[in-house]
Structures are given as structure tokens and as C-alpha cells.
Structure 1
């Protein structure tokens, strides 16, 4: 059966959490700097895990990370890392937790230089890239642009932002519209672009 036979991208399947995420969030263009940063952090935590794991723990992540306020997280140190390593509601991975703190500091520096959202959207001249893939097999795990963005972000002090994570993040935040053309959301999210 074609993955879009039900009018959705095949990756979301029928799990209610995935369907709700696909139908309301995934691919919606995000222009808010802090929200873009939160989604980058969650995509970094997802590395090596299924997205459903992160999706189901998202509220626990938000509670543990003070609503993903980078200005708060940037002040954290080892005591906070230890506290988070003891929180069963989140993914307890020292490297990812420490990267989140460092990424908050990198976000602050980027905000001071013109904004994190401007840094991201400037790669696309402020407009989402609208792909026209018909099957999941056509969707790449990374692109030359996600590789360049990953390098630039690492140079700016970000971690857990390899090219595959960056591409998944661009899709999730609607910077790239990778809803399949047979998916009812492909046209809907295209109309949400500024």
C-alpha cells in the first residue's frame, strides 16, 4: 500500500502521538528563535532513539529544562548535570545534557549577533524549501546544505548537530517542507510560510 493512501506521510503510521504530531506540528514553519532552539535540542536527544521516545517525554524535558529557556540553561553547571542525570522522565545521557548547556551559551552568542532564527532562515533566503518527494525512499537523511549548516553550527559552538540531526530538525521546523506531495499537509504547511 502506498504510504500516502491515508493522506499522510507514511513515517507517522497510526500511533496517536505520531499522527497528532504529524497533523499539527511537523513541517510547520517556525520563526521563533527560542522554539527553533528547543526543537534542535530535542532532535539532538533523539539521536540513536526513536522519535516517539522523545515525543512522549517532551513535557518531562520541558519541566526538567525550565521550559527550554536558553538564558536559564546557559547558567547551569555540574550540579545541574547531576540533577538531570537523576531525572527518569528524560533521556539521561551526560553528553547530550552537557551539549544542551553549551548549546544554550552558543544560542546566546548567536542571538547577540543578529538572532538564531536569522542564522537559520538566511540559508533559505527566509522562505521554506518546498520539496516534491512522492515516496519516503526519495527523502534524503541529509543534504549538502545540512552538512554545511552542521559545520557552521559546530564552528559557532553547537554540539549534537550533525548533518542528519540538522536535516531532521529543518524538516520538523518547516524550514524544509518534506511532507510527501500526496500528504494533505504538504499544501497546508506551504501556505503557512511568511
Structure 2
């Protein structure tokens, strides 16, 4: 199962909560979540935004599990089909060329202010895993260059710090 497919299934589950049968198990939809963990996850969200605005790539990297996390805006199904028909029958919609290191380099070298604004932030956390889902717009200078839906997978690591394990987003370009 491709990373893209797993990410799409996860995002669908977050957006469309399951419908529970009256006789479903009692544990469904009940998570071990603490106010402290939710606050720590929110702090990662705030630190991410601060790191972009201040171009603090060291802070940004401290929020990631490692530099090789999934960091992608997957191609849409039509784009995937076109590439499969014309170039690569195995194309899955993810580019192996770009990722977190390229994003960090972009933040570090972009001359204008960079800002990502988050709206409708939703956090689902169960013990040592969490999912953060939000609407966003991405700005360079005073212009919105991209907007869409963004999803993070997070993991609470051995030192009890929350780290971003993957970042993927839809890409709609400048809003009308």
C-alpha cells in the first residue's frame, strides 16, 4: 500500500467521522488524550508558524521526527492518470525530488516574509499518536500563493516531545 493511499485513507477518516452502529464496541471513538498532550501539540503548531515567519530553520527542524519525513502535496487523480498514461505506469503522485529539506532551504533563502496561516485546526490524539488537520493559506510577502487542506501525523517520542512524522496538503493555488 503506497504512502499516498495510506495518507488519503487517514485524511478521509479525519474528515468523515465513521458512523457507529448502535451495537458497536464501547471503545470506538474513545481516545487516551490529555490536556497536557493537546497543549504540547498546539505548541508544535504555533512553533511551526513562528519558525516560518522568523525563518528559524533550526526551530523548524526540531519539530520534525527526522529530515526524511513524508512532505508532499500529492498529485490529483487526473494528474496521476496522465503521468501513468504518458511517462511512468508506476507513478503514485508523490515526487521523490522535493521534501522537507528543500522546504527548509526555501524558508531560509526566501527574501520576502513567509507565513502559513491555519484555520479550523482539529487535533485527534490517542496516547502517543496524533493527527492535526486544518485549512491553510500560504503567503509570500503579502500574497497568498497557495491554499487548501493540510494534514500532519505526529508521534510522541521517547523524551515525551511531539514530533511531526508527515505533512501532506492539497494545493489549490491562489484563491479567487
Same fold (TM over 0.5): no
Which has the higher Rg, Structure 1 or Structure 2?
Answer: 2
Q: TM-score, normalised by structure 1?
A: 0.27
Considering fraction of residues, name the structure with more helix.
1
Q: TM-score, normalised by structure 2?
A: 0.28
Higher relative contact order (CA closer than 8 Å, sequence separation 6+): 1
